[in-house]
Amino acid sequence: MATFTEAAIRARAQATTVRVQKTARAILEEASVSLPTEFDVFLSYSSQEPNEVILGVKETLKDYGLTVYVDKLDDPNLTPDNVTKATAETLRKRLRQSKSLLFLHSENSTVSKWMPWELGYFDGYRSKVGIFPVTKTALSKYVGQEYLGIYPYVGNAKDTNDQERLWIWETESKYAVYNEWVKSKVEIKERKAT
């Protein structure tokens, strides 16, 4: 198991920007034509997060077959500079339309005022919350700071068939495949060493 590195996430974003010949900012600022009525993931991130990191995480999650809500992309009229009651209502609606919330943890997440609110709201509403750490170097184990340590975290690793999968871990021996955890009744559970 390993966390996603910032370099890998930026490389994933670059693959998209090269393919569509637009900057990460331009891609994120384009209005979505039609939004799904349900998302697998609500991505909670800091407004200070670089566009390349946000796009890279979204594209990485899409690579694993997940639909992802990103406010900057899906509701471009929402801006951290003009927060209103309507902003909060839109975010509540999107949170309720999502099966899970991933908290993008990086050096920028500590400055966000909205991320703790989104995390608390979703944890109380649905409880399928995970931390998506983006680290400078790959870590085989992630230990969250303060209250983030109570939540499981995601990373990638190969399964027994040598297929790259997205996993959610509470401990090294307590985990589940993320897609199965989000899309069905599969729980994070203790696994015996083989």
- Contact between residue 152 and residue 169 where contact means Cβ atoms under 8 Å apart: yes
pLDDT tens across 105-162, in order? 998 888 888 899 999 999 999 889 999 999 888 877 777 777 888 999 998 888 889 9
For residue 91, the one-letter residue type is L
pLDDT at 112: 87
Distance, in Å, from the CA atom of 98 to the CA atom of 96, rounded to the nearest integer, reads 5
What the block records as the tokens of 189 is 């559970």
- The model's pTM is 0.88
pLDDT tens across 156-170, in order? 888 889 999 999 998
Provide the 10 A C-beta neighbour count for residue 161. Answer: 6
DSSP letter, residue 189: E
